[in-house]
Every structure is written in structure tokens, then in C-alpha cells.
Structure 1
Amino acid sequence: MHPPSEASFTSRLRSAAVAARVGSWLGICFTIALITGLISHYAQNVVQPVPFPTSPSWGYRLTQGVHVVTGYASIPLLLVKLWTVYPKLLKRPPRGRRAFVVDGLERASIGVLVAGAIFLLASGVANAAQWYPWDFSFRTTHFALAWITIGALVVHIAVKLPIIRHALTHDIDDTTHDRPAATEPGPVSRRGLLGVAALAAAAVVVATVGNTVPAFRRISVFAVRDGEGPQGVPVNKSAAAAGVTGEMVGDAYRLEVVHGGRTVTLTRADLAGMSQRTERLPIACVEGWSATADWTGVRVRDLLDLVDAPQGRDVEVLSLQPSGPFRRTVLQGNFADDERTLVALALHGEPLSRDHGEPARLIAPNRPGVLQTKWLSRLEVA
């Protein structure tokens, strides 16, 4: 039995006309995912030459929701694209040194593009499901591979631009760039295949967008969060998972506010005795899920005034959890000064549950959920 060759695939559906159109949709999805992913990456940076904005409060919720949804939509489009162009990978390399080198470089860029796309989508889905069968940092690796993949995509488009331009400006049934072996009609027309690809992408969007849009939660069967959780808000990391015990948040609990040589130590009762504010703010996570809630507590700015901290200064935020990559975070000055940024003591009018950060947690507008530190123990002005 001989291995398959390019001539083994005779369907007219495997054509440049279909590949160019599906590839265009895929390129749009990848571009949107790149832009929104860069926004999320920047929002998590400690150093921000241009401060990440605090308004609108739902901005990060929107961009991260779009990021995850476009990633999901890319999966069926990528599968159709790979199915369409697969025979080209079996084509014999051309003769002649120059043609051989050019063909080799083109295939190498395609290999990087395919491998990078598969890695980004597979690891993104795993991250959304909070399943990490690896030891590397998801954020830094995802960031680096995104640039490599986009670079390979740009090279691929540049090499194939004449064919892409011709395919997109001519009828979908045009055969100019068809392979010689592609002569047999498929089970559907080329337009039918494009319709199936578009429908599959739309179905994936509907099945996952409930993470961000509550109206879709009943039909978003593949959404990683159903919107439920303690006090009506989902939880990513429980107190038990973070190593936070009852003794740590009990009567011995203290919150330290530090600036220079000044330190103010506050009990839970001290915090409750200060002026309380209620803000309706979303909490949005990098996995794409989000929820809006009513948070009640003390303005961070009021706490910083207790130690005469000047405005515009960054604040190091420390959690009671013994370890973890987000045990220490930095609250940039514009967030610290925003009147909506709270050390929250209550959620929906009830004291915080332990899994939501009892006795006190940070909540700020337009801020990634991983930086909305729970189980606060210290605020130190830089």
C-alpha cells in the first residue's frame, strides 16, 4: 500500500478559492485575538508607561470575552483550512536549487504557523478550563508564541498574496489555481462548505459566549462557568486551594497600611467602622468568564490617606495566601486613586464568603480578575 500523494485527493473542495476565504476569516479572528490578548497582557504588567485605564469599568470584561470567543471560533475555521490545504503538503519539492530553497522556506513558515496556531488554541482552551498539564508559564509562553505565529502568518500571506488576491476577487468556483487532480465534485458545493464552516464557528461562539454574556448562559453548553458560585459569583481559586485557613482570617486578622515610616493596623471591625461605599463592578478573568456584582467596603484612597500617602503612587498589595504567582500584586496609582476601588468587605450586601476573600479583598474597575487580590493582609505605598 502506497502512502498518499497530492494526486490522491481529487475533491474540488480542496481549492485555493475555499482556502483563501476561510483563511481570511481565520486571519481576522487571529488579529482580533492578538489585539485583545495584548491588551490583557499589558493590563497585567507591573510597569505601564501609559497607565491602563480605569474606565469603562467593563472594558477588560469586553476585551477578554472577545479574546476567548474569537479563539474558540478559530478552532473549526482552522480545521477546515487544514483539511483544504492538506494535499499541498504532500506535493513533491520542485527541482532546482533556488526553487527548492524557496519552497523549503515556504513550507517551514507554514509549519511554524500551523504548530503555533494549534498550540495557542489548545493551550488557550486548557487555560480556560483551568487545566495545566505543563510546567511553563502560560502567560509568557502564550505571549511569545502569539508573536511567532503572527509573524509566520504575515510571511505566509506575503508569499501567497497573488493567489489570495486572485481567489478573493474571482468567483468561488473559479478553477485557475486548482490542483490538476482536483476534478471530482464534493458532497456539497464550495459555497456550501463555506456555509458549514461559518455555521460551525457561529455555533462555537453561541456555545461559549455565556462566559461573558449572561443572556446566553443557558445555551452556552461549553462555557467553563455557568455564572453560579458563592454569593452568586463564580470562584476560580478557593480558600482551601490557596492555603487560607480559618485562623488566618479570624479574630487575629489585621490589615496593614504602610507608607514610609508610617503604619496603620486595622481589624475587620475597624474597617467596618469606616465610611462604606457600594459599587456595582464586574469581575472578569483571563479565562473569559465575568460577572457583575455589588461590592461594599472602604475606598482604598481613604485607607491611603490614613498614612498620608500622596496621590498617583503605586501600591503593593499582599495576600494572606502563603504562595502563588499573584500573592503579591501592584495596584497602579490611577487605580488606587479611583473612588470606585475598594477594599471590599461585603458582596451583594452580605459579608464576603471565605472563597471570595473573607474578611477583605480588593476590587477595582477594569482590572483583570487575577489582580483583584483576595484575603488582603497589607497595602504598602511605593
Structure 2
Amino acid sequence: MGLWLGLCFGICFLTGLVSHYAQEPSHPIPFPTSPSWGYRLTQGLHVTTGTAAIPLLLVKLWTVYPRLFERLPSGELRRLRALLVTLLERASIAVLVAAAIFQLATGLMNSAQWYPWSFSFRSTHYALAWVAIGALVVHIAVKLPVIRQALGGDVESSELDRPGATEQGVLSRRGLLRTTWVAAAVAVVATAGSTVPLLRRVSVLGVRSGEGPQGVPVNKSAEAAGIGEQQVGESYRLEVVGPSGTVRLSREELLAMPQHDEELPIACVEGWSASGRWSGVRVRDLTALAGATGGEDVVVTSLQESGPFRVTTLQGNFVDDDRTLLALGLAGEPLDLDHGFPCRVIAPNRPGVLQTKWVARLEVQA
């Protein structure tokens, strides 16, 4: 059980690092634009393995929790070393259990977009991930001899049991393992449809069904963002600011520029993703109007009045990619207001929270 739980936590940790790095405003090592579905895959794996870890962790805790409450060794001087080792081991396990429960519980809430707390989910989740993986590594190091012996022996062996834990239960050990694996598989299938379209009919617990305006789900609606006709009506102008000055373009002028179509996924940190056929103007063509020569980062500002991702940074390698568009349409139709009308950013292999909607301004960074 611990082996599979460790694998799930390891995959969660690595894919979480990818997601955190992708959301940073600057990248010392450029985040790749290809494959276009890369973030869709890594974040899908992140949420899927995190979901699978929930039943695994519950059963793991059920099997080992009595050890946390066993009597400590006698405090005699000759047994002081054993006492200290036991205390340190239990303290590290307590940290591991607390961090693991926190990570899985808050991750599940995040996937449902429920935030009953005031702290920043992203920074806290990232910090506790290091605590959890560090405590896990320490635990594995301490228990390595036992792990080797257990994995090398028969699963039904009671050789490593704690004293008094030999009474036969309702399930055999193999039965418990198989039941847990089935529970983890059911949890994955019931949620993975948010990422895997083939599973959407059976993923009854998926946070997104795949349905939405123009065939793509919506996280934040125009109403939730405070966007109305007064912001996106005939008076709307996109500002493009660069070395040679400021260019202001209406939606009609944007439509008069060379248009390009790209099939690109939009993948969100909550684990859901969907592909769409986007049409619009290449961002690099727009920045060139304001004197950009290539390779510069671009600060993108939304019409929405507030929100943690109202202002984002589009790194230079994304700006220069032919597939990065200021999208004006989706699925052969004008962009729906909930998808960011009059225009939004869509770029390959980029977190959905950074695919800014209702774009008001593009500012080239020197």
C-alpha cells in the first residue's frame, strides 16, 4: 500500500512543480511551448494521482495508526537512545500525515473551486508539498530495511506485524489490497473524464463535463468577472504598447488583420481540459505593430477589475510561437462573452489561468 501511495505522491509532487513553474511570471529556463498538450497531460496526471491517493492514504492510515499510540520505551538511561529515535520517528510521521491530509483535502477543494480559507492556495500548496515529500523521504529512509523485507516476502506473512495484531480480520491482506486498488480505480474513473473525453459519460464526479459555450467549459463567467456591454461594446479598443508607441485597435480592425486557425487545448489547474479550434491574430503580429522585434515578454491586462490573474506575463518564447493567438473566434463563431469576447489569449502548453480573457492591453517589455 505504501509503495503505491509513494508513487502517487511522487507523481503529484513532480507534476505540481511543473504547474507551479508554468505559472511563474519569469522563467530562467524557458517553459516549452511544445507539445501543445504537455500541460494538459501533466496537470491531468497531477489531479488523477492525487485523487487515487485519497483511498490509498485512508487505508494506509487505518493499517498503521495503532503504531502511533503504542507505549514509548522505558525512560531508563540505557534505553534513552531508543526513546529518542522513537519520538523522532513519530514526529516525522505526524508531519507526514498532517501534510498529506492537508495536500489532498485542499487539492480536492481546489479542483471543485471551493476555497473556504483566506490564505493563498497556490503558495501554501507548494510549500506544504516540499514538507510532505521531505517527510516522506525521511520516512522511507528510516523504514527501508522493513520495506525491503516486506516487499520481498509473502503479503500474507505476519512476521512484521506489531505484537497482538495477529487476529484474522474480515478481509485477507490480499483482499484488502485488491479492494483498495478497486476503490482507487473507481475514484480515478469517476473524475478523470474532466481530462479524458472518452471517460466523460462515466465520470460522474468530474468537475467539468466538457460542455460549455462553443463546446469548451468555462471557469469564470463574464458576470462573475464584472464584464458587461459597457466594456466590450463599440467603444472597445485594444491597446498595444511597445518601443515605437501605442496602437489602439477596434475588434473590426483586429478582424481585418491576417487571421489564423489553431487547434489548441485549454487546461486548468483544477485538472479539467478541453480542445477547441481557435481563430485570431498572432500575438507577435500585434506586438510588431508597436515596434517589437521578437523575444520580448508581453504583459497582458484584462478588462476585469480584480482577480489574481487579471495581469499576466506572456513570455517571449510564447509570443514568438506561431500558434499563440489573440483569439477572436472559437469553433467557427465569434468568441462567446464567457470565453473572453472581444478577444483572449490562447497559447500552446500554457495553464488555463494564464490564457487571459477580455484582453484590454498588451505591453511589450523592453
TM-score by length of 1: 0.93
1:164 and 2:147 equivalent?
A: yes
Q: State yes or no: 1:27 paired with 2:6.
A: yes
User: What is the deviation of 1:188?
Assistant: 1.7
SS of aligned partner of 2:278:
strand
Matched, 1:124 2:107: yes
Determine if the alignment matches structure 1 residue 115 to structure 2 residue 115.
no
Kindly indicate whether residue 320 of structure 2 is the aligned counterpart of residue 341 of structure 1: no
Task: Report the alpha carbon displacement of residue 228 of structure 1 after superposing the two structures with TM.
Answer: 0.5
Contact 2:327 2:345 in 1 (8 A): yes
Q: Distance in 2 between matches of 1:208 and 1:272?
A: 39
**2:174 corresponds to 1:201:** no
Distance 1:204 1:109 in 2: 29
SS of match in other structure, 1:247? helix
- For 1:351, the equivalent position in structure 2 comes to 334
1:277 paired residue number: 260
- 1:182 equivalent in structure 2: 165
The answer to whether the Cα contact below 8 Å between 2:244 and 2:291 also exists between their aligned partners in 1 is: no
- SS of the aligned residue for 2:232 comes to coil
- 1:135-160 superposed Cα distances (whole Å, 9 cap, x missing partner): 11111000000000111111111111
Which secondary structure state, in structure 1, belongs to the residue aligned with residue 274 of structure 2?
strand
CA-CA distance at 1:261 after TM superposition: 4.5
CA distance, structure 2, for counterparts of residue 70 and residue 244 of structure 1:
36
Find the residue that maps to 2:229 and give its secondary structure: coil
Structure 2 Cα separation of the partners of residues 179 and 124 of structure 1? 33
Q: CA deviation at 1:260?
A: 2.6
1:77 lines up with 2:56 in the alignment? yes
What SS does the aligned partner of 1:167 have?
Answer: helix
Q: Quick check: 1:301 aligned with 2:280?
A: no
Q: Secondary structure in 2 aligned to 1:248?
A: helix
* 1:92 matches 2:71: yes
Contact 2:53 2:184 in 1 (8 A): yes
Cα RMSD over matched residues? 0.8
- Partner of residue 225, structure 2: 242
Of 298, 310, 314, the match for 1:327: 310
CA distance in 2, matches of 1:261, 1:339: 22
Matched residues in 1 for 2:90 and 2:253: separation?
66
Please give the alpha-carbon distance, in whole angstroms, between the structure 1 residues aligned to 2:329 and 2:26.
30
Distance (whole Å) between structure 1 residues aligned to residue 309 and residue 282 of structure 2? 22
Distance apart, 1:85 and its partner CA: 0.3
| SS in structure 2 at match of 1:295 | strand
In 2, Cα distance between equivalents of 1:369 and 1:181: 53
Correspondence for 2:18: 39
% identical aligned pairs: 67
Q: State how far apart, in whole Å, the 1-side matches of 2:172 and 2:42 are.
A: 36
> TM-score with structure 2 length normalisation?
0.97
Question: Which amino acid counterpart does residue 228 of structure 2 have in structure 1?
Answer: T
The one-letter code sitting in structure 2 at the alignment partner of 1:210 is G
Matching residue of 1:60: 39
Instruction: Please give the alpha-carbon distance, in whole angstroms, between the structure 2 residues aligned to 1:182 and 1:323.
Output: 57
- In structure 2, stretches of 5+ residues that fail to align are none
Letter in 2 for 1:359: P
Instruction: Return the letter of the residue paired with 2:277.
Output: D
Q: Could you say which residue in structure 2 is the equivalent of 1:51? A: 30
Give CA-to-partner distance per residue, 1:12-71, whole Å, 9 cap, x none: xxxxxxxxxx00100000000001000000100112111000110000000000000000
Tell me if the contact between 2:326 and 2:346 (Cα under 8 Å) persists in the aligned partners: yes
Structure 1's consecutive aligned runs of 4 or more residues displaced over 3 angstroms after TM superposition are: none
Q: Deviations over 1:272-294 (max 9, x none)?
A: 11111111100000000000000
Deviation at 1:165, TM superposition (A): 0.9
> How far apart are the structure 2 equivalents of 1:164 and 1:213?
35
Show the 5 A alignment for 1:207-222.
Answer: 207-222=190-205
Q: Deviation digits for residues 195-228 of structure 1, max 9, x if unmatched?
A: 0111111111111110100000000011000000
Partner of 1:251: 234
AA in 2 matched with 1:88: R
Residue equivalent to 2:345: 362
Confirm or deny: 8 A CA contact 2:243 2:291 kept in the other structure: no
1:317 shift after superposition? 0.4
Secondary structure in 1 matching 2:290:
coil
- 1:139, 1:175 → 2: CA distance? 43
Letter in 1 for 2:358: W
Q: Residue 226 in 1 paired to residue 209 in 2? A: yes
Instruction: Indicate if the aligned counterparts of 2:158 and 2:166 stay in contact, CA closer than 8 A.
Output: no
Q: Aligned letter for 2:156?
A: D
Distance 1:255 1:60 in 2: 28
Match of 1:139 in 2: 122
> Which of residues 136, 149, 161 is equivalent to 1:153?
136
Distance in 1 (alpha carbons) for counterparts of 2:280 and 2:69: 63
- Deviation by residue 1:234-258 (Cα, 9 ceiling, x = unmatched): 1100111111121000011010111
Query: C-alpha distance in 2, partners of 1:183/1:62?
Result: 44
